[in-house]
Chains A and B, each alone.
Chain A
Amino acid sequence: MSESYMIKVEKLNKSFGDLHVLKDIDITVKESDVVCLIGASGSGKSTLLRCLNFLELKDSGNIIFEGEKVEKETHDLNKVREKVGMVFQHFYLFPHMTVLENVMEAPLHVKKRPKDQVKKDAQELLNKVGLSDKENVYPSKLSGGQKQRVAIARALAMKPDIMLFDEPTSALDPELVGEVLSTMKELALEGMTMVVVTHEMGFAREVADWAVYMHDGRIVEVGHPEDLFNNPKEQRTKNFLDSVL
């Protein structure tokens, strides 16, 4: 690697039928960066995130992950996904498994690591997100905030190099947003590389190293959150910020 970037996107394009969702996206995320993607719904930020995880496959352009250009023809995308953690807006915990089983599932069945180790790691992760007492509970018994913290622990259990968050607090009641954001903040302080699609401008301001404003499938403006929020260079960024802040 010439630079220490984690993931580099070059001229990425993606369409759904006639809808051109991502247009010539260029973005580079360095190790330990925390990047917030902001923009109105439909601006393509979630699709960009899903492309980074190869849940959506690009139409053209390059995605270079840890120095390697990843193509579905030459790479086992499952292997790549093991290193890219993902947290969804609607959690998607596995409802037929307990909290502990949720966290153990992938290390056990994807990485095929020994069960006692996996269990120990999972318990540590649950402790870290403050849910040790919920180990043997099924997801249906948890609040939204607790579900999302389990989802974070589940993703971390694969020991990913980068974590992607797709509007992790958008489905939560307002009083539950804080606990999820503080878990994420803790993760950021530990040096985890994170890309976060969010409407939480406070979180972006406080935690992000830089923020990206997207509009209509393009990156309009990139900058340190403080600069971007206080002195946007582009009129479109200003309009968006006026509507949300």
Chain B
Amino acid sequence: MDLLTKFIDTYPVFLKGMLLTFQLTIVAVFIAIFIGLFFAFLKISRIKILEWIADIYIFLVRGTPLVVQIFIFYFGLTALDISQFWSVILGLAFHNGAYIAEIFRGSIQSIDKGQMEAGRSLGMTAGLAMRRIILPQAFRRAMPPLGNQFIIALKDSSLASFIGMYELFNVATTYGSNEYDYMSYLLIVAVYYLVLVLIFSILVNMIEKRMASSD
């Protein structure tokens, strides 16, 4: 049987897996953006204890494998009884939040200090100037690395298969083992991932273009 037939025979199941992969990624990244923004603010707060809290968080996330973090939410924190779906999302969000925090910190600090001063000189509070003047510019600068991070998160969501979620990768390995043909289904799933990444890239590009209207 050739690859194409297999592809056509299995696409309804793969599409379901793709939808789950997509959901996991979108929700996780959405939460991760807020986590990232929060820890970015801690890092630039110039209050030592808050900076330390952010440093410890980033150290923990960067220093341990994502799969361990997902397992901690699912198998470790049994008392909290977190579902598979939310364990993956929390693991991914917790993980990506650290990287996104560094992306935001860098982009906020890259904005000329004169922008904040110009805002302050017009009577703005530091908070208002941050919200109206600094953050819109920082977000724009953060878009390319954020886009990268989204794509990493999308591929990392394949780790959900380790706790039994029937997302793309799990669909592929299940077919592979049932039909004793891993290679075909791994190639097929690679195509699904490529398509997803392509869609993501196009979306990020569109957002970047829209934000760049002022150049």
The answer to whether A and B interact is: yes
A residues 188-222 near B (Cβ < 8 Å) are none
Q: Is A138 an interface residue (CB 8 A)?
A: yes
Instruction: Decide if B121 is an interface residue (CB 8 Å cutoff).
Output: yes
Q: Which residues of B contact A81 (CB under 8 A)?
A: 120-123
> Is A127 part of the binding interface, using a Cβ–Cβ cutoff of 8 Å?
no
Q: Is the CB of A55 within 8 A of B121?
A: yes
Instruction: Tell me the residues in window 91-137 of chain B with beta carbons closer than 8 Å to chain A beta carbons.
Output: 112, 114-115, 117-125, 128, 132-133, 136-137
Is A41 positioned at the interface, with any CB of B under 8 Å from its CB?
Answer: no
The answer on a CB contact under 8 Å between A78 and B114 is no
Give Cα A94–Cα B112 distance, bound, in whole angstroms.
Answer: 11
The 8 Å CB contact of A158, one of B112, B123, B133, is B123
A55 to B137, CA, bound (A): 22
Judge whether B215 is part of the interface by a CB distance below 8 angstroms: yes
In the complex formed, the residue of A with least CB distance to B136 is: A96
Q: Does A148 contact B (CB under 8 A)?
A: no
Closest beta carbon of chain A to B208's beta carbon, Å: 13
A93 to B118, CA, bound (A): 8
Collect the chain A residues with CB atoms within 8 Å of residue B117's CB: 55, 88, 92
Binds B, one of A18-26, A60-68, A103-111, A233-241: A103-111
User: Which interface class (under 10, 10 to 19, 20 to 34, 35 or more) fits A?
Assistant: 20 to 34
Residue among B115, B123, B132, B213 having the largest count of chain A Cβ atoms under 10 Å: B123
Chain A residues whose CB sits within 8 angstroms of the CB of B123 once the complex forms: 78-79, 81-82, 106, 110-111, 158
Residues 148-183 of A at the B interface (beta carbon under 8 Å) = 151, 154-155, 158
Interface size class of B (residues with CB under 8 A): 20 to 34
Q: Which of B117, B125, B140, B214 has the most CB of A within 10 A?
A: B214
Looking at chain B's contact residues, the main secondary structure is helix
Most chain A CB atoms below 10 A, which of B115, B119, B121, B128: B121
CB closest residue in chain B, given A86: B121
Q: Is A90 an interface residue (CB 8 A)?
A: yes
Report whether A105 and B132 are in contact in the complex, using a CB–CB cutoff of 8 Å: yes
The residue from B112, B122, B137, B140 contacting A106, defined by CB atoms under 8 A apart: B122
Please indicate which of the listed interface residues B117, B118, B215 has the most CB atoms of chain A within 10 Å of its own CB: B118
Contact of A95 with B by CB under 8 A:
yes
Residue interface bits A93-129, CB-to-B below 8 A is 1, else 0: 1111110000001100111000000000000000000
The 8 Å CB contact of B115, one of A86, A92, A98, is A92
Chain A residues with Cβ below 8 Å from B115 are 92, 94
- Residues of A in contact with B (beta carbons under 8 Å apart): 53, 55, 78-79, 81-82, 84-86, 88, 90, 92-98, 105-106, 109-111, 138-140, 151, 154-155, 158
26 intermolecular pairs with C-beta atoms under 8 Å apart:
A55-B117, A55-B120, A78-B123, A79-B123, A81-B121, A81-B122, A82-B122, A82-B123, A84-B121, A88-B117, A88-B121, A90-B112, A90-B114, A92-B118, A94-B115, A94-B118, A94-B119, A95-B214, A96-B137, A106-B122, A106-B123, A109-B128, A110-B122, A138-B215, A151-B118, A158-B122
- Told that A86-B121, A88-B121, A106-B124 touch, could you supply 13 new A-B pairs with CB distance under 8 A? A55-B121, A81-B122, A82-B122, A88-B118, A92-B112, A93-B118, A94-B137, A96-B136, A106-B122, A106-B123, A109-B124, A110-B123, A110-B128
